[in-house]
Structure 1
Amino acid sequence: MQKQITSPHNQAVKKILQLQEKSRTRRKENQFVIEGIREIRLAFKGGYQVNEIYFSPELFSEDKISDLLKNSISEISLIEISTEVYHKIAYRGSTEGVIAVAAGKELSLKDLNLKTKNPLILIAEAPEKPGNIGALLRTADAAKADAVLIANPKTDMFNPNIIRSSVGCVFTNQIATAGTSEIIAFLKERKINIFGAALQASVPYHTIDFTQSSALVVGTEATGLSKEWLENTTQNIIIPMQGEIDSMNVSVAAGILIFEAKRQRNFQ
């Protein structure tokens, strides 16, 4: 029998709010919240285990539920909720009327499957803003990068702001999180060239041959790449600036670099 929740004080409602608000709860429960039709579809496509779907029938009909579930491969609990409950648990201002709870993934380096001989990898060191991480993931998805690695992450990848700002691309990219030393060892073991976006000892990015195995590494806008990265790059690269400032938004910089690599590869 399909469950129903009409009270915003229900324990399930409290659990969803905690999963949205607290990284510690997401890690402890190994669960996270997905809001929106497109994002849930991409989670299915990315092989994520969706355990529960909460929907408001006034906003999201059972026909839409049937259509949404046609790509699911596991049994999912459907919970009908009142409009009041939906608006309490909805994280963003949209009114799509559907929210899911899914199981997290480990996102470890050992699970990465680099299918090409000359992979193109995007790496971000210690990104702090979920919006920047989401934008990086959208860029990597658009360029069809082989993997996105987050070094020394400041938050878990299932932060609702990352899911929202990535428009679900957190589910479509191959992602791993690890410490800087571990990622550098991973790259060197596989003979992947490390190109760090940095001012020091750098050459213009368009002079580099990115058709070889390449990892493009970007740091924070405030401090750039750490000493450990700078000491282990194959070559530092720079985007020549013609204005008054010497840096740009990290996701914009990553987009310029990764699409130059794709151009050299004939967008293959």
Structure 2
Amino acid sequence: MTKEHMLLSSVQNERVKLWASLLEKKHRDRQGLFIIEGIHLLKEAIASGAEIEAIVYDADKGLPKEISEVQDKVASFTEWYKATRNVMAKCTGTDSAPPIFAVLGKLKADEEKLYNPNGLVVVLDGVRDPGNVGTIIRSADAVGADAIILGKGCVDLYNPKTVRSTMGSLFHLPIIEGELKAYIDQAKQRGIQMVGTSLQATHNCYEYSWKQGSWLVMGSEGDGLSAEVEALVNQTVIIPMKGQSESLNVAMATTVLLYEAMRQREFS
């Protein structure tokens, strides 16, 4: 290690109070910052070239070996600190604090990737569960989708639970938060299909041609799509079910549809 890292031992420290405030959305929005926890997420952030303001590790455990090995890839403006266990817990809102966390600037998404004429984009309308949104981001990443749009009523991308459940995939593809109608209108003008799910659909998801530019539009677990967004969908499909289950949760349903899209595009 080139130089001694400053020790943060008080939860009353101004920096610590700022970082702890990032557990709330209003402070994340105000500061344009969010927190990631753990070695895996930090390695993904470093590899992606994300803007890392500060890296803070447990003073008792020392800097994890996996991070010291990639230390030279971290930007020169990033500040490094070690901290006591109570400071680590305060900033991450967890009882069992991670060995390391980092403070990042919110990610800048490339909106041009949205309008790839043969693209595959996931659009979420009012999906509030952070675990489901994180899982959908991982699935979209896994199949090589072009982007994700989170509309009104969705959980905040930078909610700590959402961030954790993406397992680093939030660094791998553009994720845009915004008003769905404006994005969907623009995509439809370019001939991109809006595909939703419906129990009344006449086609199942294996009959639809996913080879064309398609945006998969998924609604919340309880309410489905809002009336405004549903009116913008021009194709609906149903996921066939052979057993007695009534439905799949939104993350599982989205994953099934994304993998069928990948199967058609890559393996047929």
Q: State the TM-score, normalizing by the size of structure 1.
A: 0.89
* 1:102-141 to 2 correspondences below 5 Å: 102-105=104-107, 107=109, 111-114=111-114, 117-141=117-141
Change (3 A) 1:244 1:62: closer
Structure 2 residue corresponding to 1:29, chosen from 31, 35, 38: 31
Residue 85 of structure 1 corresponds to 87
Q: Which is further off, 116-125 or 29-38?
A: 116-125
Residue 10 of structure 2 corresponds to 7
Residue 49 of structure 1 corresponds to 51
* Counterpart Cα distance in 2 of 1:84 and 1:177: 33
Contact 1:198 1:224 in 2 (8 A): no
Local SS of the residue matching 1:196: strand
* Counterpart Cα distance in 2 of 1:36 and 1:19: 16
Deviation of 1:94 after TM superposition, in Å, equals: 5.6
Deviation of 1:167 after TM superposition, in Å, equals: 1.2
Q: Which is further off, 254-263 or 80-89?
A: 80-89
Does residue 72 of structure 2 align to residue 70 of structure 1? yes
The one-letter code matched in structure 2 to 1:2 is H
Aligned residues: 265
The one-letter code matched in structure 2 to 1:88 is K
Does residue 189 of structure 2 align to residue 186 of structure 1? no
Deviation of 1:62 after TM superposition, in Å, equals: 6.9
* Counterpart Cα distance in 1 of 2:12 and 2:242: 56
Deviation of 1:65 after TM superposition, in Å, equals: 4.2
Does residue 173 of structure 2 align to residue 173 of structure 1? yes
Local SS of the residue matching 1:70: helix
Deviation of 1:80 after TM superposition, in Å, equals: 1.4
Unaligned runs of 5+ residues in structure 2 are none
* Counterpart Cα distance in 2 of 1:186 and 1:59: 51
The one-letter code matched in structure 2 to 1:39 is L
Q: CA RMSD in A?
A: 2.3
Residue 225 of structure 1 corresponds to 225
Structure 1 residue corresponding to 2:21, chosen from 6, 18, 21: 18
Unaligned runs of 5+ residues in structure 1 are none
Contact 1:221 1:249 in 2 (8 A): yes
Contact 2:34 2:103 in 1 (8 A): yes
